[in-house]
Amino acid sequence: MIQALRGMKDLLSPNSQRYIYFVENCSRIAKNYGYEYIETPILEETALFKRSVGESSDIVGKEMYQFIDKGNNDVCMRPEGTAGVVRAFIQQKFDRAGVKKKFFYHGPMFRYERPQKGRLREFHQFGVESFNQANIKEDATIILMLKEMLDFFGIGYKLELNSLGCSECMPKYKEKLVNFLQDEDDICDDCKRRRDTNPIRVLDCKVKSCQEIYQDAPLLLDNLCSTCRDDFTQLKSILDKFDVKYTINPKLVRGLDYYNKTAFEFVSDEIGAQSAIAGGGRYDKLVEYLDGKPTSGIGFAMGIERLIDLIVMSETAREGYYIGALCDEASDLCFELAINMRKTKKVNLEYNKKSLKAHLKNADKQNARYCVCVGEDELAKDLVWVKDLQNKEEKSITANELLG
């Protein structure tokens, strides 16, 4: 038997219904905020992700679905959504036009990892990206939009917030941190590696002994320049005003290299060891990194699989028709009836003749609202028998009445 590759799942009912429900409503909300749908290719040049996500990240370091195609191109299945959208933004020359643009997207992402609860090799994200809105109000707006989405689905969460500083204060801070780390020999091997590649990542190391050492480490939040500090203060006050609960996590570091200033993560404790259900932040340098004109950007992405388990969906009401023949002679009529009715109604047809009891059972199992049967009695009188499975009323009517 051939089965799906490790970490790749088929999407079937009822999860497929949840998936559509989730994407449709997130799209609706994003449109209300002025976002437009964008779809970018799943396959991109590998260099795109190396330059945007960053060589120092685990995603690029060991998790990419990367291969050489038949034209000898180094290509990669996208591990996240932002890079492709930014590439498209630049390719369309929106950076040169200097226009504000807001996009939302959803689709599959690929990371070559060992699967576990809430973590797949092929998973799906819903995300948004907003370009050329340097105002801190945009940071707040994007968080409010994300909160609105999660609230709509009744999903519980905690919001964690941090500021990573800008190109002015971040390098200075990084230097300070490296100096601090220089004297520490008791940190774990991973942290020693991070000290050279991406020192800020040591802060969210999960090794206890490391965390004890970092108690005294300089924090980003204490080293922000005045602009970043003011923006962060303003962001907090907007969130307060709109009743968004959050906790400041000075050690929150996003896994992708391109973030600066506002960084946030929505977490849940109901989905196993993987707690992040959505994450995002600002990336004001990314467009430049990818050869565009300097353009600010901010966005977030949600992990759809992690979220749809948490969605509470109302029970689906009985819907549509079930049609079945009680004798062989009626089977052609039932077939014709079903084909015609389907122009306006949902119809499930049973091809085999069965007892009335069997048909009713089937109709009930399929959650149909009406059960339609045709047998010898009906054929003789040129009628069809219809029962409303919800209020149990039954009657015999003509085929035309049923079509209308």
Partner RNA sequence: GUGAGUGUAGCUCAGUUGGUUAGAGCAUCGGGUUGUGGUUCCGAGGGUCGUGGGUUCGAUUCCCAUCAUUCACCCCA
Residues 259-318 that bind RNA (CB under 7 A): 265, 272-279, 301-303, 305-306, 318
> Per CB under 7 A, does 355 bind RNA?
yes
> Per CB under 7 A, does 255 bind RNA?
yes
> How many CA atoms are closer than 13 Å to the CA of 223, on its beta-carbon side?
19
DSSP 3-state of 288: helix
Residues 102-121 that bind RNA (CB under 7 A): 111, 113-120
Least distance between RNA and beta carbon 343 (Å)? 25
Contacts of 336 (CB under 8 A, 6+ apart): none
CB atoms within 10 A of CB 386: 18
What is the C-alpha separation between 150 and 141, in angstroms, rounded? Answer: 14
Nearest in space to 359 (alpha carbons), one of 347, 346, 373, 370: 373
Cβ atoms of residues 372 and 324 within 8 Å: yes
Least distance between RNA and beta carbon 365 (Å)? 5
Least distance between RNA and beta carbon 169 (Å)? 21
Least distance between RNA and beta carbon 230 (Å)? 26
Residue 236 or 354 having the CB closest to RNA: 354
**Mask: binding to RNA, 132-161, rule CB under 7 A, as x and -?**
------------------------------
Q: The tokens of 365 are what?
A: 């199992």
> Per CB under 7 A, does 254 bind RNA?
yes
Read out DSSP for 348-399?
Answer: EEE-S---HHHHHHHHHHTT-SEEEEE-HHHHHHT-EEEEETTT--EEEE-H
Q: The tokens of 335 are what?
A: 């077939």
Residue 4 or 312 having the CB closest to RNA: 4
What residues make contact with RNA under the rule CB under 7 A? 3-7, 57-59, 63, 80, 111, 113-120, 123, 125, 190, 201, 204-207, 253-256, 265, 272-279, 301-303, 305-306, 318, 326, 354-358, 360-365, 373, 375-378, 385, 387, 389-390, 392, 394
